[in-house]
Every structure is written in C-alpha cells, then in structure tokens.
C-alpha cells in the first residue's frame, strides 16, 4: 500500500513536533515536509508532492487561508485539512470556501486526526454536519438573505437527482450512505457528485455542502 504523503504547516514548533510524533506512528502516513508559514507552502508542495496538507490558520506572514486558496488553484492541488482551536471560527468557514477538504480542532484526539488525514486522502472530506451548522449560524447576519438568493440561483441548474445528492452531501453522508438512501449504486452517486461539482464550479464535497446550507436546502428537507 502506498503511504499517504503529508505536509505539516504550523508556526508553532511544539505543535509540529506533536503532529510529527502522532503521524509518525501511522504506518500508512509519511511526513514529507514541514513549514512554519503559509508563504513556504507552495515551494514545499512543488518539491515534496504531498497528498494532504495539514494547515494551521493563523500564521505570522502568510496565513492558512491565503495558502489554502493558492494551493487549491493549482492544477495538481493536494487536499488541505485546516487546523483550528475554535470550532465556530469564521476563518474556518472561509478556509472551506477556499477549497479545504475539512478541518480538525487542535485538541482532537490523535487517532481522529490521523483518521481525518486518511479520509481526506481517500477523497472523503472531513465534514461534521453539527459543526458546519454552528459555522453557518456564526456568520449569519444582514447578508444572509442575499447569500441565500445567490446560492439558490446557482442550485437552480441542477437536476432533481443532482439536487437530492447535494442535500445528502450537505448532511455529511458518504457515497455508500447516499446510495442506500436514494436507491442508486455508489458509481451513480459518484457520477452525480462529479456533475454537481462541474455544474456549480466547485472543487470538493465540502463546498457542495456549504452551498447547500447557504441555499437553505437542508432547512427545506427538515
């Protein structure tokens, strides 16, 4: 089995040391580099070719938001999981919109952080519906109606089954769970997800979920 190539990005050397120790115990994960600032990331990615980047948000020069946005604009972009100390931080939502595949809290148990890296590497972004709802509530304000109208206009291009899959992705369901819930094969689910990504000009399932929340699709289902 090919090891997952992982790049660690955090300005705190103690955090990097802890993550390195934690990940070093996983036989299927190889740490290919470390960076102390977002400004170092692109050059390191070019040199080390990681599958996943574990990215801090707050760094002194180039923050994790900017670094994530730059990485995800690359044709050969690695997956990005952002690190945060506060689950309702607006910066996390911005990172997800920039293309991060998910996020973990810095006080998350080590085994779950390792599993998050594995899931993202396998194409299954780490998305907690509960935390995502908290994030959406955190940023809700006077612009909420405008945001919903824009999101609904984008969603309008989807067919009925694509819309159903979008709602299921927003609920944090895996492809297998979506297939069971909507009575279709996993291959068909993957096809619908790919079409949704293409039609909405998004680059991962997390962005599908956030757009579903913005459009109020999950409220409609409830």
Note the pLDDT of residue 160.
94
Which helix (H) or strand (E) segment holds residue 98: the answer is none
Strand 102-105, strand 29-35: pairing? unpaired
Question: What backbone phi and psi angles, to 5 degrees, belong to 5?
Answer: -85, 120
Q: Which of 184, 164, 167, 186 is nearest to 176 (CA)?
A: 186
Question: What backbone phi and psi angles, to 5 degrees, belong to 104?
Answer: -135, 150
Note the pLDDT of residue 131.
56
Angle, to 10 degrees, between the axis of helix 90-97 and the axis of helix 129-139?
110
Buried b (16+ CB within 10 A) or exposed e, 75-94: eebbbbbbbbeebebebbbb
Q: Which of 78, 89, 93, 90 is nearest to 127 (CA)?
A: 93
Note the pLDDT of residue 24.
82
Measuring CA to CA, how many Å separate 26 from each of 4, 43, 113? Answer: 10, 26, 11
Note the pLDDT of residue 205.
84
- Which of helix, strand or coil describes residue 149? helix
Q: Which of 189, 29, 46, 219 is nearest to 117 (CA)?
A: 29
Taking the C-alpha atoms of residue 160 and residue 52, their distance in angstroms, rounded to an integer, is: 33
Q: What is the pLDDT along the chain (222 residues), one digit of tens a residue?
A: 689 999 999 999 999 999 999 888 888 999 999 999 999 999 999 999 999 999 998 888 998 889 998 998 888 889 999 887 765 556 667 777 788 888 788 888 888 889 889 988 887 777 655 555 555 565 555 456 777 888 899 999 999 999 999 999 988 788 889 999 999 999 999 999 999 999 998 878 888 888 888 888 877 554
Note the pLDDT of residue 32.
95
CB 90 within 8 A of CB 139: yes
Which helix (H) or strand (E) segment holds residue 34: the answer is strand 29-35
Task: Round the average pLDDT of the chain to a whole number and report it.
Answer: 85
Q: Which of 48, 57, 140, 147 is nearest to 98 (CA)?
A: 57
pTM of the model: 0.71
């Amino acid at each position: 089995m090919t090891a997952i190539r992982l790049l660690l990005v955090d300005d705190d050397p103690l955090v990097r040391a802890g993550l390195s120790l934690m990940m070093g115990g996983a036989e299927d994960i190889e740490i290919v580099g470390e960076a102390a600032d977002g400004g170092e990331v692109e050059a390191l990615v070019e040199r080390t070719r990681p599958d996943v980047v574990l990215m801090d948000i707050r760094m002194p020069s180039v923050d994790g938001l900017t670094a994530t946005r730059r990485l995800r604009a690359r044709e050969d972009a690695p997956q990005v999981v952002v690190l945060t100390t506060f689950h309702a931080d607006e910066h996390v939502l911005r990172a997800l919109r920039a293309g991060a595949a998910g996020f973990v809290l810095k006080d998350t148990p080590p085994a779950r952080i390792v599993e998050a890296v594995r899931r993202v590497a396998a194409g299954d972004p780490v998305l907690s519906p509960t935390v995502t709802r908290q994030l959406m509530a955190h940023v809700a304000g006077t612009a909420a109606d405008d945001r919903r109208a824009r999101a609904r206009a984008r969603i309008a291009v989807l067919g009925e089954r694509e819309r159903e899959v979008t709602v299921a992705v927003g609920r944090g369901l895996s492809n297998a769970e979506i297939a069971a819930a909507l009575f279709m094969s996993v291959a068909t689910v993957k096809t619908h997800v790919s079409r949704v990504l293409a039609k909405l000009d998004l680059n991962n399932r997390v962005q599908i979920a956030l757009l579903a929340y913005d459009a109020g699709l999950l409220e409609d289902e409830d």
